[in-house]
Chain A
Amino acid sequence: MTLIQTGIYLIAALVTIVAFYIQGEEFIRSMVRAQVVQSVLIAAISFIIGIIEASVDFFILGVLIIILRGFLISYFLERRIPGKSSIKYEPNVNLAYYFLLDLVFIVISVFIIFYVVFSSFRVSGVLAGTEVLVFPLALFFQGLFLIASRKSTFTQIIGYVEEENGLVLFAIFLLPVPLIIEASVFLDVLALVVITSIVVVEKQTHEKMEELKG
């Protein structure tokens, strides 16, 4: 393994750790800011790959990530956090329980999917010969688990953004997706966050199964 690969691995691992931090965090504002850190780390990976591959696409992608995810999404979300303590703070977050459950969840889901679906995929370019795709998959499932484990609508939106972060990281690692598709995905997410941040004002928490009641 080269030094560059080790460096990218460590940054990708930091992305996963930030996802764990969001999972264990109680304050909505801290979660939003942690999501910014996560996006900036992903942008850093994009820049590193861009430098090594000498590709402008990765640079544009990195700048897009920083502007859209690092700045705009967090701006819209933070503006919607009201002063009421019941909303800016989610009580009863049992960190040990969430961490262990999250660990079991991602280990089982990621490795089943990784071995069944992605074991034949080979990453090309600077990360050739490594199985770096585990990280975006883990991030994707951490986002899913965040949505499933929390009641607050804000947290669920952050879970969704985290999932999208997983997809972006996946695209960066796997193959150069055409930039126009990436950009449109980002704008979609932005539009969705703007819409959901309005919905948040109407409905701040989701109880179990309430959507399914007739």
Chain B
Amino acid sequence: MLLHTLEETVSQYLFVVLFAPLFAGILANLKARVESRKGPSILQPYYDIAKLIRKETVIPRASGNIFKYSPYLIFGIYSLIALIIPVLIPDPVFFTASADFLGGAILFSLAAFVKMLSAMDSGNSYSVMGVSRAMSFNFLSEGTLITVFFAVSLMTGTNSPYVTNHFLIANGISVVSLDHVFSTLAFAMLFLYETGKIPVESSGLMELGMIDEGLVYEYSGKLLAISKWSSYMKQCLLGSVLLNVFLVPWGLYSTGYAFLMDFPVMLAKWIFLITVVVIVETTLAKLRLFRIMDYLAVAFTFSILFLIFSEVTL
């Protein structure tokens, strides 16, 4: 039993660490194909990471220790989150008991906080501009995140994402209940914001519109590789929560070696999510910077209004 849980824990962790860049690669490739370009290989993120690890790391003279060590810290935080939420295995594994849903949200915020601290510590004015932008939008996105998790906990009477997953599988009708539908919508909008997708942010180092990219502006070499890897992991974690707790909770098993089937199932689910993201990215235009507040206000309104409605009306 202990060995079985250990196997599940290791496979869940390896899934997040090793497959996260692949999802980013598939997304970039598929998007290029939709736009009639040949596009990079789906393994391009791995090549990027390998190349950056071999390169020289330049550290600004004005920066301090926080700048140097925070990429490792952020990687560690996302590694812990990978064991807390149902990314691959629908039953608790080792370290799952270390935090609940809200704890997971706080860990995400902690990683964002450390990232901002490191950007502030770099001494680059572009990074500080990125921090000020991120901070001015985050007050709405964090509020939405907390409210979405409230909606989930109120629906199931618990704060564990694993119980939510099982609850949704057992009660099919709750998948179309008011608070679930609108918290899913709000969380999907938040996913696009947090991972820097098109209506909010276009990827690449365009100074005019960058928010999250601005924070790692001063990093290079190995530190940049770890930062990039962490952001792929963040995308993988948030996307897996969106899939397993909100959109499609079905299809995951943990009895015996059936958990090995979870790999292809999760891959299929991710291809579904990537298709949705590609459709959104190629049909919508990027919002102007001051319009991002409107986007997040809509997500916030969805999450809080229907949370209150469902509490009053049920």
Contact = CB atoms under 8 A, between A and B. Distances in A.
A13 B182 contact: yes
Contact of B297 (A7, A100, A130, A138): A100
Given A1-B177, A6-B177, A131 B313 contact: yes
A107 B306 CA distance: 11
A132 B305 CA distance: 14
Nearest to A24: B294
Nearest to A119: B312
Interface in A4-33: 6-7, 9-10, 13, 16, 20, 24
Interface in B148-193: 173, 176-178, 181-182
B312 A95 contact: no
Given A20-B301, A96-B293, A103-B305, A9 B178 contact: yes
A89 interface: no
Contacts of B182: 13
Nearest to B309: A134
Interface in A89-105: 95-96, 99-100, 103
A128 to B, nearest CB: 13
Given A10-B176, A96-B293, A134-B309, A1 B314 contact: yes
A99 B312 contact: no
A111 interface: yes
Contact of B312 (A10, A16, A111): A111
Given A95-B297, A96-B293, A134-B313, A16 B305 contact: yes
Given A9-B178, A10-B178, A99 B301 contact: yes
A170 interface: no
A71 interface: no
Contacts, number: 61
A212 interface: no
Interface residues of B, number: 22
B303 to A, nearest CB: 11
Q: Which of B176, B305, B314 has the most CB of A within 10 A?
A: B305
Contacts of A135: 309
Contacts of B177: 1, 6, 9
A20 B314 CA distance: 22
Nearest to A102: B301
Contacts of B300: 99-100
Contact of A96 (B173, B178, B297): B297
A13 B297 contact: no
A1 B314 CA distance: 8
B308 A107 contact: yes
A59 interface: no
A106 B182 CA distance: 18
Interface in A132-172: 132, 134-135, 138
Contact of A3 (B173, B294, B297, B306): B173
A107 B181 contact: no
A10 B294 contact: no
B191 to A, nearest CB: 20
A114 interface: yes
A24 B173 CA distance: 32
Nearest to B306: A13
B298 interface: yes
Contacts of A130: 313-314
A114 B312 contact: yes
A99, A100, A106 pick with most chain B CB within 10 angstroms: A99
B213 to A, nearest CB: 23
Contacts of A10: 176, 178, 181
Contacts of A6: 173, 176-178
A110 B192 CA distance: 32
Contact of A99 (B176, B297, B308): B297
A100 B300 CA distance: 9
Contact of A134 (B293, B296, B298, B312): B312
Interface string A187-214: 0000000000000000000000000000
Interface of B: 140, 173, 176-178, 181-182, 293-294, 296-298, 300-301, 304-306, 308-309, 312-314
Kindly list the 6 A-B residue pairs having the minimum CB-CB distance in the complex, ordered from nearest: A96-B297, A95-B294, A131-B313, A96-B293, A99-B297, A96-B294
28 contacts: A1-B173, A1-B314, A6-B176, A6-B177, A7-B176, A10-B176, A10-B181, A13-B181, A13-B182, A20-B301, A24-B294, A24-B298, A95-B294, A96-B140, A96-B293, A96-B294, A96-B297, A99-B294, A99-B298, A99-B300, A100-B300, A100-B301, A111-B312, A114-B312, A130-B314, A131-B314, A134-B312, A134-B313
